[in-house]
């Protein structure tokens, strides 16, 4: 059985969140633009999910898949 520390999980979420932010900005999309493309009504979720200090909001695998399609990138690019 694998043992994962809370710090490892935090670092993983942090890495993914920062990568989404970086890739979103490279495509010149605002948080609101991305939120609307995902079918959300405002940028609140994106803002929280991109902020590593907020540990209660994370991108799901479905979010990441949709984000990769919206940004026209490979899903694996987000996880690099």
So what's the pLDDT on residue 4?
87
Contact 19, 78 (CB under 8 A): yes
Q: Give the closest residue to 35 by CA, choosing from 3, 66, 1.
A: 66
Tell me how far CA of residue 17 lies from CA of 2, 9, 13, 30, in angstroms.
24, 12, 6, 15
Cα 57 → chain centroid: 10
For residues 17-29, average pLDDT: 97
- pLDDT confidence of residue 54: 79
- Give the residue-averaged pLDDT of 29-34: 98
Fold annotation for 6-78? 434 Repressor (Amino-terminal Domain) (1.10.260)
pLDDT tens, position by position, 42-69? 999 999 999 978 778 899 999 999 999 9
pLDDT at 1 over 90: no
């Amino acid at each position: 059985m694998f043992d994962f520390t809370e710090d490892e999980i935090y670092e993983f979420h942090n890495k993914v969140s920062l990568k989404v932010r970086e890739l979103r900005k490279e495509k010149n999309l605002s948080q609101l633009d991305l939120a609307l493309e995902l079918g959300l009504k405002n940028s609140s979720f994106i803002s929280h999910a991109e902020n590593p200090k907020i540990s209660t909001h994370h991108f799901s695998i479905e979010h990441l898949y949709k984000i990769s399609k919206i940004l026209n990138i490979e899903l694996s690019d987000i996880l690099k």
